[in-house]
Chain A
């Protein structure tokens, strides 16, 4: 039998915080930060653990900041606890959510629930404001990146809105054409009746 010591990875970094550091690297708002700055963010973040099905925050609750998933999963759901509850997305380690709450205390747009034993790293508005005061350069980098994220979401929302408007316009046009045709029939004395049992 081979000696397990021979297989041990002696070069593996055993600092548990190193994993958090690597996770933070993947978060877009921290993308421009230097290594030292990223370690400062890691030191400032709040490490929280959640049990299975424990809520992280509720829909409509005033937002405080963002979370990065270190371990475990979370479910983002709408109308939690109601018959029309719907799961929007399930997030995994390395994912982040709630970054808009770094800007203001607007209500959370959905409920977040831990799935399994979950560890989250919380970065909140007080922490961001503190960094803006103490290290303005780092703070500006984060805020500019946050602005990028917000702008991108806005662009996506605008594109979706434009598409929806086009679809609505197209529907409205079809409705007008159908109405004009109906009026044409009526003017010629043709009566159009709804079939019994049909919808509408």
Chain B
């Protein structure tokens, strides 16, 4: 048992250190990372087209063009609605603050009736201060955020396309440089790592998409059935999908954030409906989607998840919290396969 904890701690420390330094170079590393992830997801479609007789070059062009068309359509249709919902947030902060304030006052009154002392918290003031603080820290960063976004939007498609088109040639070029003595070992390790990572990335992406879609449908249906006006449905579903990437803590974070978003809506009673829908979506994920899609291929210990979330939040804020756990899982796979491969071949590496 002690050995298990020592090993888990050691691996977590090593991988977290590697990720810390890699993620420091956010402007370059993030678009490349997204490009790698996208190319992994799109690779399976290219393989299917090749299986139907298309040449590699044509298969890549078809898949990439289709993906860009779908992404553009998605941005136009959904992006506009999403931007509108995000834009209304700033206007509705006082409304949300007032609702939270009322809720806290109700809880205070309930607590005061049973406690010998009285606890008062100025929620409205705290939220207003927090929002002002956020504005003060975010506003000066907007130009650099905009630059990063533009670089990202330009870099990601380029990286994705060239990885799809030349990924195999790149692998072959790398292998040509490997000395004969290590050649077979490196070939097998690269193949196993690539296969594991691809399966994991595709599984996580599919699972997140399924959760987001199910949540979107459930919340929309719930709104129709109950007659309650639920706003920002797309944003709630998107947040639930993205946070689902984080094991253990992700679904809880997604539910809390989703319920929090309803505070900015027209009808506060939507909170309970949204919470129920998100919990049902999570149940479906745990029982149906995750076992089918992921099959428990890569698992991360809960304590490791917490450490990584803190580290990711420190490096890159909310985005860091989202990407660091999958990055950790992928890095662990790489190190695991490296260790097994070297151990298997070690006695022959003279």
Q: Which residues in A have some Cβ–Cβ distance to B below 8 Å? A: 46-48, 50, 54-58, 60-62, 64-65, 105, 122, 124-126, 129-130, 133-136
Contact = CB atoms under 8 A, between A and B. Distances in A.
Nearest to B183: A48
Given A62-B345, A64-B184, A126-B187, 12 more contacts: A46-B172, A46-B176, A46-B183, A57-B348, A61-B184, A62-B344, A105-B344, A124-B187, A125-B188, A126-B188, A134-B47, A134-B51
Contacts of A54: 180
Nearest to A63: B184
Given A46-B172, A133-B51, A126 B183 contact: no
Interface string B35-77: 0000000000001001100001000000000000000000000
Pick from B51, B176, B344 the residue with the most CB of A within 10 Å: B51
A124 B188 CA distance: 9
A124 B348 contact: no
16 contacts: A46-B176, A46-B183, A46-B187, A55-B181, A56-B180, A58-B348, A61-B184, A61-B345, A62-B344, A64-B184, A64-B188, A122-B183, A124-B188, A126-B191, A130-B168, A134-B47
A64 B180 contact: no
A166 to B, nearest CB: 38
Contacts of B184: 57, 61-62, 64-65, 124
Contacts of B51: 133-136
B175 interface: yes
Nearest to B341: A62
Shortest beta-carbon contacts, A-B, top 6: A126-B191, A64-B184, A134-B50, A61-B348, A58-B348, A133-B47
- Taking residues whose C-beta sits less than 8 angstroms from the other chain, chain B's interface range is 20 to 34
A105 B180 contact: no
Contacts of B181: 55
A125 B176 CA distance: 17
Which secondary structure dominates chain B's binding surface?
Answer: helix
A54 B172 CA distance: 22
A127 to B, nearest CB: 9
A48 to B, nearest CB: 6
Contacts of B176: 46-47
Nearest to A56: B180
A64 B187 contact: yes
Interface string B184-227: 11011011000000000000000000000000000000000000
Pick from A46, A56, A125 the residue with the most CB of B within 10 Å: A46
B188 A60 contact: no
Contacts of A47: 176
B348 to A, nearest CB: 4
A54 B350 CA distance: 12
A126 B172 CA distance: 12
A194 B176 CA distance: 67
A50 B348 contact: no
Interface in B245-268: none
A133 B345 CA distance: 27
Contacts of A61: 184, 345, 348
Nearest to B191: A126
Contact of A50 (B172, B180, B188, B345): B180
Interface string B150-186: 0000000000000000001000100110001101110
Given A60-B348, A134-B47, A135-B50, A48 B187 contact: no
Nearest to B168: A130
A92 B122 CA distance: 87
A136 B190 CA distance: 22
A46 B184 CA distance: 11
A105 B168 CA distance: 23
Contacts of A50: 180
A134 B50 CA distance: 5
Pick from A50, A54, A60, A133 the residue with the most CB of B within 10 Å: A133
B30 to A, nearest CB: 29
A54 B190 CA distance: 24
Contacts of A62: 184, 188, 344-345
Contacts of B345: 61-62
Contacts of A105: 188, 344
Pick from A62, A134, A135 the residue with the most CB of B within 10 Å: A134
B34 to A, nearest CB: 24
A62 B340 CA distance: 12
Nearest to B49: A134
